[in-house]
């Protein structure tokens, strides 16, 4: 019975990795097809939070960061959402580790970061995305994301 449960769990993990992979491919295809840096081509329109408040929120620029990352432009990706860009390699490794375990039975080393590192990143993310990139002077003004309107 234990072996059947383990096989079912592994099958569920495999299906989950396929689902997440399909969602990532779909998101990438959407961002490549509908350029989020062009308000005419982007069906989602400008950031609603930015449109209403006039300031950048924690998610503002994330789609454009993903667009520039897919096109290999790290400078513009950093300009549009530096804090999210910093997290990309860590999130990618967690995904690779998950796929390796689900599909190949390989247990890659876990990221062993202290709670202090996570807390510092979250605090820096919130400070950057809600305060610093809304400041009107250099160097913070460089991170301001223009609200695209048609």
Kindly give, in sequence order, each residue whose CB lies less than 8 Å from that of residue 57, ignoring residues fewer than 6 positions away.
47, 49, 50, 129, 130
The CA distance from 98 to 104, in Å, is 10
Domain count, the chain: 1
- List pLDDT tens digits, range 2-54: 666 666 688 888 999 999 999 999 998 988 888 887 766 667 767 777 778 87
- Greater model confidence, 14 or 149: 14
What is the residue range of 133's domain?
A: 2-143
- The length of the chain is 150
Residue 126 is assigned to a structural domain of this protein: yes
Residue 82's H or E segment, with its range, is helix 74-104
- Greater model confidence, 41 or 71: 71
Q: What's the pLDDT at 33?
A: 85
Residue 149 is assigned to a structural domain of this protein: no
What is residue 12's three-state secondary structure? Answer: helix
Contact 44, 36 (CB under 8 A): yes
Kindly give, in sequence order, each residue whose CB lies less than 8 Å from that of residue 44, ignoring residues fewer than 6 positions away.
34, 36, 63
Residue 125 is assigned to a structural domain of this protein: yes
Residue 31 is assigned to a structural domain of this protein: yes
pLDDT over 90, % of the chain: 44
The CA distance from 69 to 76, in Å, is 8
Residue 150 is assigned to a structural domain of this protein: no
Residue 45 is assigned to a structural domain of this protein: yes
pTM over 0.95: no
Residues 41-70: what's their mean pLDDT?
A: 82
Above 60 in pLDDT, residue 102?
Answer: yes
Residue 148 is assigned to a structural domain of this protein: no
The CA distance from 148 to 51, in Å, is 9
Q: What's the pLDDT at 1?
A: 62
Above 60 in pLDDT, residue 64?
Answer: yes
Residue 38 is assigned to a structural domain of this protein: yes
- Greater model confidence, 150 or 147: 147
Above 60 in pLDDT, residue 125?
Answer: yes
Tokens representing residue 86 in the block: 């910093």
């Amino acid at each position: 019975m234990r072996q059947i449960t383990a096989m079912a769990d592994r099958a569920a993990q495999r299906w989950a990795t396929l689902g997440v992979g399909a969602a990532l491919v779909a998101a990438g295809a959407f961002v490549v097809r509908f350029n989020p840096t062009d308000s005419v081509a982007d069906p989602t329109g400008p950031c609603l939070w930015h449109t209403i408040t006039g300031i950048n929120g924690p998610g503002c620029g994330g789609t454009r960061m993903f667009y520039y990352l897919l096109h290999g432009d790290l400078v513009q990706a950093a300009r549009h959402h530096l804090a999210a860009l910093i997290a990309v390699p860590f999130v990618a490794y967690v995904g690779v580790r998950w796929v390796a375990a689900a599909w190949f039975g390989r247990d890659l080393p876990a990221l062993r970061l202290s709670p202090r590192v996570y807390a510092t990143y979250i605090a820096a993310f919130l400070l950057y995305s809600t305060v610093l990139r809304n400041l009107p002077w250099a160097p913070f003004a460089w991170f301001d994301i223009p609200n695209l309107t048609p």
